[in-house]
């Protein structure tokens, strides 16, 4: 079975997005923050309280816009000190959508000093 949505890179925007934004507004923000919306890339935004997230994916033909809300707790979001956007790997993405501290998952969580 062929993949409907293929994602090769995941990007986290550090500045909040109004969750009332539709696909066109989210696309305008992607272009503002990332410079371009590349095919097969996912762009993630949170609201000010970080309990809601929107993800815009450009599949090479059109756009997909998905929303996720946590009933309790918040998404662990990066702040602007790390720049306007942060790349995520698939392990970090899985932790993020569950509301876990994704910054310490995968290669970023390697222990190198005793």
Domain boundaries, the chain: 9-109
> What average pLDDT does this structure show over 63-79?
89
Strands of the chain, DSSP E:
9-13, 41-46, 52-58, 63-69, 85-88
**pLDDT at residue 22 in the model:** 95
Three-state DSSP at 44 gives: strand
Query: Residue 46's beta-bridge partner residues?
Result: 53
**pLDDT at residue 66 in the model:** 95
Alpha carbons 67 and 52: distance in angstroms, whole number: 7
> What average pLDDT does this structure show over 66-93?
84
Q: Supply the DSSP symbol for 83.
A: -
Alpha carbons 96 and 91: distance in angstroms, whole number: 9
């Amino acid at each position: 079975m062929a993949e409907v949505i293929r994602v090769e890179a995941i990007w986290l925007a550090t500045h909040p997005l109004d969750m009332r934004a539709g696909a066109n507004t989210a696309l305008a923000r992607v272009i503002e923050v990332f410079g371009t919306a590349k095919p097969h890339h996912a762009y993630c935004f949170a609201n000010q309280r970080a309990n809601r997230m929107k993800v815009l994916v450009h599949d090479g033909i059109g756009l997909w816009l998905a929303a996720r809300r946590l009933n309790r707790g918040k998404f662990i979001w990066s702040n602007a000190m790390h720049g306007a956007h942060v790349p995520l790997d698939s392990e970090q993405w899985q932790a993020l959508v569950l509301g876990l501290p994704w910054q310490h998952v995968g290669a970023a969580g390697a222990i190198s000093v005793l």
